[in-house]
Copies of this chain bind each other. A is one copy, B any other.
Amino acid sequence: MSIQDCCAGLSDAPLAEAEAAGLAHVFKALGDPVRLRLLSMIASREGGEMCVCELTPAFDLAQPTISHHLKLLREAGLITGQRRGTWVYYRSVPSALDRLAGVLRPAVTA
């Protein structure tokens, strides 16, 4: 009865239109190299937290662009943001990643 069991896998039964729309929204958020790297940087971070000021310099992009990508990841439920003083810290949402993995995995035999 783990989290990702809320939805059957892709390979279990044809997706209904509404499910497909919801999942597509999340996968679309992952469909950009910058966002993938942002998510990976945050998720792999020791301590689980990362400040925008640490993320921005890793890219050749303006800060508002990074902010925009972080917003999309947040709206997809893949990360959460929290303001502490002047800085905003982001952390990943492992359960969201787990759910997605469950949708993709043809048949979890564990």
Q: Is A23 an interface residue, CB under 8 A from the partner? A: yes
Chain B nearest Cβ from A55, distance in angstroms: 10
Extra A-B contacts (9), CB below 8 Å, given A25-B31, A31-B31, A94-B106:
A11-B40, A14-B37, A17-B33, A23-B33, A23-B36, A27-B31, A28-B28, A29-B31, A101-B104
Copies in the complex: 2
Mark each residue of chain A from 1 to 19: 1 if its CB lies under 8 Å from any CB of chain B, else 0.
0000000001111110100
Does more than half of chain A's interface fall in helix, strand or loop, or is it mixed? Answer: helix
Neighbouring B residues of A94 by C-beta, 8 Å: 11, 106
Number of A residues, CB within 8 Å of B? 39
